[in-house]
Structure 1
Amino acid sequence: MEPIGVLKDGQIYDLQTAEALNIEGDIIKQDNSAESLEILRHSCAHMMAQAIKELYPDAKFFVGPVVTEGFYYDFKVDAKITDDDLVTIEKKMKEIANRKLKIERYEATREEIVTKFADDELKQAVLSKITDNTLTMYKQGDFEDLCRGPHLPTTGMIRAFKLTRVAGAYLGGDEENEMITRIYGIAFFDKKELNDYVRMLEEAKKRDHRKLGTELELFTFNEDVGAGLPLWLPNGSRLRSKLEHLLYKAHRVRGYEPVRGPEILKSDMWDISGHNANYGQNMYYTEIDGQQYGMKPMNCVGHIQIFKNDLVSYKDLPKKLFEYGVVHRHEMSGAMHGLFRVREFTQDDAHIFCTPAQVKEVIIDVLEFVDSLMKTFDFEYEMEVSTKPKKAIGDDEFWETTTKGIMEALDEENLPYGIDEGGGAFYGPKIDIKITDAIGRKWQCGTIQVDMNLPSRFNVEYINDEGHKEQPVMIHRAILGSFERFIGILTEHCAGEFPFVIAPTQVIFVPIADTHVEYAKQLQKELLEDEMDSKIFDMNESLNKRIRMAEKQRVPMIVVVGDEEVQNQTIALRNRRTREQSNMSKDEFISMLNEIKKGSRI
């Protein structure tokens, strides 16, 4: 495999830069490492931009970074570009790849670049964010763009790629700016890897939670209500309620106490916490009686005040408070996506107050909870330790001590983890839980965050074993992340075939004739007493059609009742999950369902 770059001190340099600056380091080759794919995908982004420029000569370009799902380029063009145009752009990209153009790097002064792009407002916007006096340009054929790299040596090395979608994006991510065009794409060195990814995208379309949410009548969005504000329909509300109940019991048996904080707090609270300074751009504010209030983006401040309401002894620690807390965060219009990105959501939030000596024990306890929940929903998962971000509160000693404590807890339990440099919360390092769904996609869900900053800022104290006041450690913890996002992920993971314990409708009764409806209603009532939901399909359709209609609802169980079932108090069961049919007494059926529920305890 040919070398394509150099890795030194965690920084990727392409061969052009390494040669120009005489940089030596570990060789990056054409494989599927994160470093090699970054070089490939950034080069593919530029090749896409070149293709767009050849097809639309008036096009102007903003930025084209590598992102988790591949790459994108933001640009402005007079023509309206839709997904139907992607095939044409791809064809032009293949032509450019076949030209095997050399990708060259050269340096220029800031003044030269400003003059060169004097008539390009997008490039001027990019330049406004760069303070360097010497800048780098990359050129391939007739196309060149302001860029730091890294890039491949030639366009001929870019062979396996696909453009995935067209979207709109605000210039620079600022809603006050104009909306421009964004095209996403993906690239691999191996054609098979690309084909596998394309198959995954096709499967993802079938599983799209927005599509299934409509088909199964789980939730809806309404622009009259407001963007990013989901409306939960009866089916979705039942599903969500069951998930909440399942988790509620799991929290209680682990020693958590339920609490509830207000959704708006005085702005003074957010000044003390640091949210106004570090998170204010994501918050909503209002004024009441001349006093500014902030809608909570997180539940931690309310839980701190609840902890401070009593004089807490060391004997009471660790103290675990949990809440299904409704929070509001300002998301840009272009960033919202079904239940994955919304402006109002509910966290399965908890805060654990403990002594420094209890931190490892608490983290291990939370990880056991995480493991139990993920197994219940058949998710594989991995963990990352996220370190100090650029925007942070607290001194270096705090960050070093707490980060080391998290890693030691994971090491002692032989739990593997990665490192996300700079990915911590502004008030402390954290463990991020990343789950893998049925088609191989990774999702950020739960988080465990160690925090000594907020207890210090709010003068949180407990009475130690010597009768003195001492500051506890506060651990922020969410396992699902939010009910909205988790339900979206779970919907796609199981393609709408929800586990029995949380399925919105667990059984559909299909009476053969009107004379059998009363028995179906009796069964429905008995199931409801055991907190199980069912529906009766007694519409004016043939039996076979009603069974087919029930199948499309993705319910776990379909029960047919006729003369024999009414007379003998039995049921004819079709288990959709196991594809088995059986006959049993009514009592055996209800007992079986309760056993399934019992086996799903977290």
Structure 2
Amino acid sequence: MSDVRVIIQRDSEREERVVTTGTTAAELFAGERSIVAARVGGELKDLAYSPAEGEVVEPVEISSEDGLNILRHSTAHVMAQAVQELFPEAKLGIGPPVKDGFYYDFDVEKPFTPEDLKAIEKKMQEIQKRGQRFSRRVVTDEAAREELSNEPYKLELIGLKGSASSDDGADVEVGAGELTIYDNLDAKTGDLCWKDLCRGPHLPSTRNIPAFKLMRNAAAYWRGSEKNPMLQRIYGTAWPSKDELKGYLDFLAEAEKRDHRKLGSELDLFSIPEQIGSGLAVFHPKGGIVRRVMEDYSRRRHEEEGYEFVYTPHATKGKLFETSGHLDWYAEGMYPPMQLDEGVDYYLKPMNCPMHNLIFDARGRSYRELPLRLFEFGTVYRYEKSGVVHGLTRARGFTQDDAHIYCTREQMSEELDKTLTFVLGLLRDYGLTDFYLELSTKDPEKFVGSDEVWEEATETLRQVAEKQGLPLVPDPGGAAFYGPKISVQTKDAIGRTWQMSTIQLDFNLPERFDLEYTGPDGSKQRPVMIHRALFGSIERFFAVLLEHYAGAFPAWLAPVQAVGIPIGDGHVEYLEKFAAAAKKQGLRVEVDSSSDRMQKKIRNAQKQKVPFMVIAGDEDMSAGSVSFRYRDGSQENGIPFDEAIAKIAKVVEERTQV
């Protein structure tokens, strides 16, 4: 038997090894249990693959992104096998890996119940312990159709071979090139236990699945289209160890506690009434306080930075969006038109920028006015599909803290640098500190303007982003149709990433609106336009902060900064005087004069996450003092009346957490 030369690539290290022809990747990495696949020539392969002469083979660790996807897709197969063992009539859809887990779609007579999910998970554990081997084989289209003749959705996928879209997970099943089926084989006898159309790769065995759990089920249209049948989708998660699975489940439990929709109701901050409509929120008085404080602080900081405030209407004639290009490129995200005048379509605005362009163009502009920074808390409306609407984070009506900066070409880099620095500083003021930047570049199928203009704009943004010293991540094709953008990404208190501010550099809308200013030599010149939303939307930023702080806002943002808790009825008047004096200093203080016992009042204040509980009894009244109880249960006694107010005021002014 002849030998072959194989190159093992581990990061920057290369090792040349001569092995017998037919040696598998599993044999190359024997004893390394964390390796679950190999990358050969840039393609992922099962460990059963035998490298050819001169091929470069890279090990794929189970904890890597590719390794996790392979683990989760393999677990999806085990789940599908378990479903068909328990529900033989179930027809298979697709089962791709997704962020932190996997799902599989099934056509069944009735939806799965929680009891069904428990039974499926138990069956999966049995299959996992059997140690079934995942075995790949190449088949012709005809053979696949014959083998899978009772699986209508798989037959449809066979017809899509080579053209399936990763958006619906179909490429996990077929993809381009040869068609393959994966068999689950009995570890002892080699008998076929189950099979599925799949491009792979997979783990060597079901025993290589260390830890998994089924999460929930939901309805889903086949391949995401409302024109197709409704299937039942089961979601699950899988991890390289039981500890990592536990950590993930603990994280989900903490995230559930912080869900802004839950906290919004518990803290009486906002609601989304069914009578108004999905994605359209109303803010209650306490939520209104938080929002007003957010806006007031932002407004003051913008004024300090030289922004000028403008206001624009909620609806406009469609012609404006023809000029801007939104009706060409963004119509799917807009509400249908309203015919208010005969033959004239009006639209709810999805963006503020076209109207700001009209403000710029309302009169002649001189280079001496530039940079001109226009700012608006502008409410916009976008028709999000019902399946993606999510509380305040994905809404249909929301208010952007929207700015558009008009400057000369020479001012462009400095203005972008100042803008990004200002954005990051203001986000830090609200308590977010962990950032990275994302650079979104041109979508080759969806853009206006020349390649040269896009290249200049993209390179300018790149240089500005790099000056911040933060990680810069590419987002190919993620730009809006009119220009590239920098997105500020931040991590919250439990490590989730949120997109915050965006800064877009635009040479195209000034051209489309024929915007001009008079230069120093009297010539007409075209301004550069910078689009900038700092919060993204006030509603979404509100939700992010609510989850970041788990409802326990720092005192400067808290709707109620302190609540007076009298030990007895005779102490109510004393605390009301304290509250009145505090309110004169702009503090938000209430007194709980209800008939509840003191301990119940303390529990109520803790549930409402009030920063300061101000307690007073006979000794406090005699000494002209109060006692503080904090959110964490600690207490500070005997604080003089005026000193207590000053202490609350100082914490509020310094925007610190207590």
TM-score (norm 2): 0.82
Give the Cα–Cα distance (whole angstroms) in 1 for the partners of residues 56 and 272 of structure 2. 51
Gap change, CA 1:349 and 1:509, over 3 Å in 2: same
CA distance in 2, matches of 1:457, 1:592: 55
What residue is the counterpart of 1:387 in the other structure? 441
| CA displacement, residues 495-516 of structure 1 (integer Å, 9 cap, x when unaligned) | 1111111111111112334444
1:304 equivalenced with 2:336 (yes/no): no
Change (3 A) 1:172 1:250: farther
Q: 1:80 — aligned with what?
A: 111
Alignment of 1:215-230 (within 5 A): 215-230=266-281
**Structure 1: which amino acid aligns with 2:511?**
S
SS at match of 2:454: helix
Q: Within 5 A, what are the aligned runs for 1:19-98?
A: 27-98=58-129
In the alignment, the residues of structure 1 paired with residue 523 and residue 132 of structure 2 have an alpha-carbon distance, to the nearest angstrom, of: 74
Answer yes or no: is 1:505 the counterpart of 2:563: no
| Separation in structure 2 between the aligned mates of residue 321 and residue 574 of structure 1, nearest angstrom | 45
Deviation per CA, 1:372-426, whole angstroms, max 9, x where unpaired? Answer: 2333314412221122235421333333222222111222343321112222223
Q: State the SS of the aligned residue for 1:311.
A: coil
Aligned alpha-carbon RMSD (Å): 3.1
Matched, 1:269 2:317: no
Using the alignment, how far apart are the partners of 1:19 and 1:271 within structure 2? 58
Task: Pick from 294, 303, 307 the counterpart of residue 347 of structure 2.
Answer: 294
Question: Comparing both structures, which one devotes a greater share of its residues to helix?
Answer: 1
The whole-number CA distance in structure 2 between the counterparts of 1:166 and 1:411 is 43
Q: 1:385 to 1:19 in 2, by over 3 A?
A: farther
Instruction: Determine the structure 2 residue equivalent to 1:139.
Output: 182
Q: Determine which of 527, 551, 557 is the counterpart of 2:612.
A: 557
Distance 1:318 1:21 in 2: 62
Q: Secondary structure at the match of 2:332?
A: helix
Amino acid at match of 1:212: L
2:231 aligns with one of 180, 185, 204? 180
CA deviations over 1:533-590 (Å, ceiling 9, x no partner) = 2222111122222222222211001112345655665433223358341333443333
Pair 217,473 (structure 1): closer, same or farther in 2 beyond 3 Å: same
Do residues 357 (structure 1) and 410 (structure 2) align?
yes
2:291 counterpart of 1:259: no
Q: Distance in 2 between matches of 1:426 and 1:18?
A: 44
Counterparts of 2:330 and 2:371, CA distance in 1: 28
Determine the structure 2 residue equivalent to 1:108: 140
Q: Is the alpha carbon distance of 1:580 and 1:35 closer, same or farther for their aligned partners in structure 2, counting shifts above 3 Å?
A: same
The answer to whether the Cα contact below 8 Å between 2:134 and 2:202 also exists between their aligned partners in 1 is no
CA distance 1:345–1:204, change in 2 (3 Å): same
Which whole-Å deviations, capped at 9, do the CAs of 1:90-110 have from their partners, x for residues lacking one? 33333333333224153533x
2:374 paired residue among 309, 316, 321: 321
How far did residue 203 of structure 1 move? 1.6
For residues 161 and 518 of structure 2, the distance between their equivalents in structure 1, rounded to whole angstroms, comes to: 52
Preserved contact between residue 37 and residue 188 of structure 1 (Cα < 8 Å):
yes
Q: 1:519 to 1:180 in 2, by over 3 A?
A: farther
Instruction: Give the gaps of 5 or more residues in structure 2.
Output: 1-31, 164-175, 185-192
Is residue 94–residue 159 contact of structure 1 (8 Å, CA) maintained in 2? Answer: no
Aligned partners of 2:151 and 2:635: how far apart in 1?
66
Unpaired runs of 5+ in structure 1?
Answer: none
Secondary structure, in 3 states, of the residue corresponding to 2:134?
coil
Aligned counterpart, 1:439: 494
Displacement of 1:317 in angstroms is: 2.3
CA contact (8 A) 1:235 1:504 kept: yes
CA–CA distance in structure 1, aligned partners of residues 426 and 641 of structure 2: 31
Which residue of structure 1 aligns with residue 652 of structure 2? 597
- Deviation per CA, 1:276-315: give whole Å up to 9, x if none: 2222112102221132222222222222222222322223
1:250 matched residue in structure 2: 301
Residue 561 of structure 2 contacts residue 587 of structure 2 at CA under 8 Å; is this kept in 1?
A: yes
- Is residue 62–residue 126 contact of structure 1 (8 Å, CA) maintained in 2? no
* Contact persistence 2:182–2:198 (CA under 8 A): no
C-alpha distance in 1 between matches for 2:445 and 2:54: 30
SS of corresponding position for 2:298:
helix
8 Å contact from structure 2 (residues 37, 47) kept in 1: no
Please list, as runs of the form range in 1=range in 2, the aligned pairs for 1:570-581 lying within 5 A after superposition: 570-576=625-631, 579-581=634-636
- Give TM-score scaled by structure 1 length: 0.89
Q: How far, CA to CA, are the matches of 1:408 and 1:363 in structure 2?
A: 10
Counterpart position of 1:193? 244
Aligned length: 598
Displacement of 1:264: 1.6
Q: Which moved more, 1:548-557 or 1:375-384?
A: 375-384
Corresponding residue for 1:206? 257
Larger radius of gyration: 2
Q: Give the match's secondary structure for 2:133.
A: coil
Structure 1 residues 224 and 422 mapped into 2: Cα distance closer, same or farther (>3 Å)? same
Counterpart contact for 1:391–1:426, Cα < 8 Å: no
Q: Supply the AA of the counterpart residue of 1:229.
A: L
2:29 corresponding residue in structure 1: none
Partner of 1:6: 39
Aligned counterparts of 1:450 and 1:124: Cα–Cα separation in 2: 47
Q: CA deviation at 1:599?
A: 1.7
Tell me if 1:162 matches 2:193: no
Please name the residue that 2:173 is paired with.
none
Letter in 2 for 1:368: T
Higher relative contact order (CA 8 A, sep 6+): 1
Structure 1 residues 531, 311: CA separation in 2 closer, same or farther (over 3 Å shift)? Answer: farther
Residue 243 (structure 1) shift = 1.2
Report the AA paired with residue 301 of structure 1: P
Kept in 2, the 8 Å contact 1:12–1:35? The answer is: no
Asked if 2 retains the 8 angstrom alpha-carbon contact of 1:175 and 1:332, the reply is no
